[in-house]
Amino acid sequence: MSFLELKDVSIGFGPVSNRYEVLQNVNLSIKENEFVAVIGFSGSGKSTLMNLLAGLEKPDKGEVLLRGQPITGPGPELGMMFQNYSLLPWMSVYENIDLAVRSARPEIARSERKDYIMHYISMVKLDHAPDKKPHELSGGMRQRASLARTLCIRPEVLLLDEPLSALDALTRSDLQDEILRIWGEDKKTVVMITNDVDEAVLMTDRIVPLTMGPAATLDTPFEVNMARPRDRYTLNNNQEFIRLKTDITSYMMGLSQEKKKAAAAKVPMPDIAPKDFSLPSKRLGFKNLQAVSPASSSKA
């Protein structure tokens, strides 16, 4: 049995008469402790897919299952890191994380809570900013605070929506290692959205492409059968890494070209051109009508 599963899932937005179909017949079966990446173009429905897995959206059709049971709403076993960070603006970094710990990990004693929270704040290198409010943080700092808030809940399933996209290369690679460590040590199941093919191949077991919307669907996954731990410094010489990167990039370029072709396809137009393109003054016979320029009108 799959651990986490999307079964023939479709979802759209808007009224029935003018529904925008975002995802159609999506099937995905994830094993326990698997690390899966979803890649796709902007607007294709990746965040919508994550919201379905987190229990924040209900499918119009099909089922979303955890251990064979329908996911009926969000819960502490499903830890979602939102693309827009979603930190509470009136609370500091510390308070945002504290709130998550109190609600999702109530068993952590009051005396241990501070150390517990600071451990996650240090992990994302925000030791210098626990008292800062979100508006006082850079985009990358907000992203790190949001990652700490998701990790501190220690959910069974980590749903990470572009978790590292706003970070500089060094911080990004540090946090890639941290996510990999947590995934390996704590035996989590991770679904991560990324637009970085190198990152996906470095980190995951399987890369699932989402086709272009509307009515996007998941296509055949690329299996990443590379031994772990994977060394980022020698990866560029690894034949399997090069092959996967080339295959995935050409697949994505193919999707983009198909979309361009579809957009450029000529639509037959009815032959209804108006007969007379002349100005109304001529058509109506106003012989002395002249264009009034701003200069002539201001003189008058």
Nearest to 36 by CA among 213, 224, 262, 172: 224
Q: Which residues of 49-66 are buried (b: 16+ CB within 10 A; e: fewer)?
A: bbbbbbbbbebbebebbb
Which is nearer to ligand ATP, 40 or 163 (by Cβ)?
A: 40
Q: At its nearest, how many Å lie between Mg ion and the CB of residue 196?
A: 14
Type of residue at 131: D
Q: At its nearest, how many Å lie between ligand ATP and the CB of residue 264?
A: 21
Binding mask 175-214 for ligand ATP (x = CB under 6 A): --------------------------------------x-
Which is nearer to ligand ATP, 43 or 184 (by Cβ)?
A: 43
Q: At its nearest, how many Å lie between ligand ATP and the CB of residue 213?
A: 6
Q: Is 193 within 8 Å of 160 (Cβ atoms)?
A: yes
Interface residue with ligand ATP, options 24, 47, 143, 150 (CB under 6 A): 47
Q: At its nearest, how many Å lie between ligand ATP and the CB of residue 22?
A: 4
Which range touches ligand ATP (CB under 6 A), out of 40-48, 167-175, 197-205, 233-241?
A: 40-48
Type of residue at 193: I
Type of residue at 45: G
Euclidean distance between CA atoms 245 and 19, whole angstroms: 36
Residue 83 found at the interface with Mg ion (CB under 5 A)? yes
Sheet hosting strand 69-70, strand order edge to edge = 20-30, 4-13, 61-66, 69-70
Tell me which residue has tokens 């326990």: 32
Which range touches ligand ATP (CB under 6 A), out of 45-53, 142-150, 170-178, 257-265?
A: 45-53
Binding mask 18-47 for Mg ion (x = CB under 5 A): ----------------------------xx
Residue 83 found at the interface with ligand ATP (CB under 6 A)? yes
Residue 43 found at the interface with ligand ATP (CB under 6 A)? yes
Which is nearer to ligand ATP, 162 or 205 (by Cβ)?
A: 162
Euclidean distance between CA atoms 209 and 223, whole angstroms: 11
Tell me the CA distances in angstroms from 200 to 11, 138, 160, 175, one per residue in order.
26, 25, 12, 14
What does the block give as tokens for 130? Answer: 């626990």
Residue 51 found at the interface with Mg ion (CB under 5 A)? no
Q: At its nearest, how many Å lie between ligand ATP and the CB of residue 85?
A: 13
Q: Is 2 within 8 Å of 45 (Cβ atoms)?
A: no
Nearest to 142 by CA among 85, 94, 92: 85
Which is nearer to ligand ATP, 55 or 130 (by Cβ)?
A: 55
Applying CB under 5 A, which residues contact Mg ion?
A: 46-47, 83
Applying CB under 6 A, which residues contact ligand ATP?
A: 13, 22, 40, 42-48, 83, 213
